[in-house]
Structure formats: structure tokens, C-alpha cells
Amino acid sequence: MCVGAARHLHDSGRIVAALGRPVPVVLYDMFDPDAMFALTSDANPAALIADFMTEAPTP
């Protein structure tokens, strides 16, 4: 649900309208912290989170 909501905010332009520029939405699951990178990757345009994803653990 959160991934879909974040994608909608990006696709609709609401984030840019509210904040004046594109801002990544970082999603964190406190019960599965390792899922943060996959969730955040699914929720945002790739170019917006490229730097963030460099910190992702390698499988």
C-alpha cells in the first residue's frame, strides 16, 4: 500500500507541488529492515534514489 501511495504522489506531481522539487520517499519496515531498499526502489523513480541505492547491501 505504501509503495503504491508513494508512486501515486510522484506520478501525480503532488510531491513537487507541495515541496517545490522531487524528493524521494524512503520506506522503512521496522519488522524487516532489510526490505527498506527494495521498498524504496519500488516507490521512487530510479534517478531520484540512485545515490541512496549505492548503500544497499549486495545479496
**pLDDT, position 25:** 97
Q: Mean pLDDT of successive 10-residue segments in the chain (59 residues)?
A: 97 98 96 94 96 86
The pTM of this model reads 0.86
Tell which residue, 45, 51, 55, 33, has the closest CA to residue 25: 45
- How far apart are the C-alpha atoms of 14 and 47, rounded to whole Å? 18
- What DSSP designation does 56 have? S
Cα 23 from Cα 48, distance rounded (Å): 7
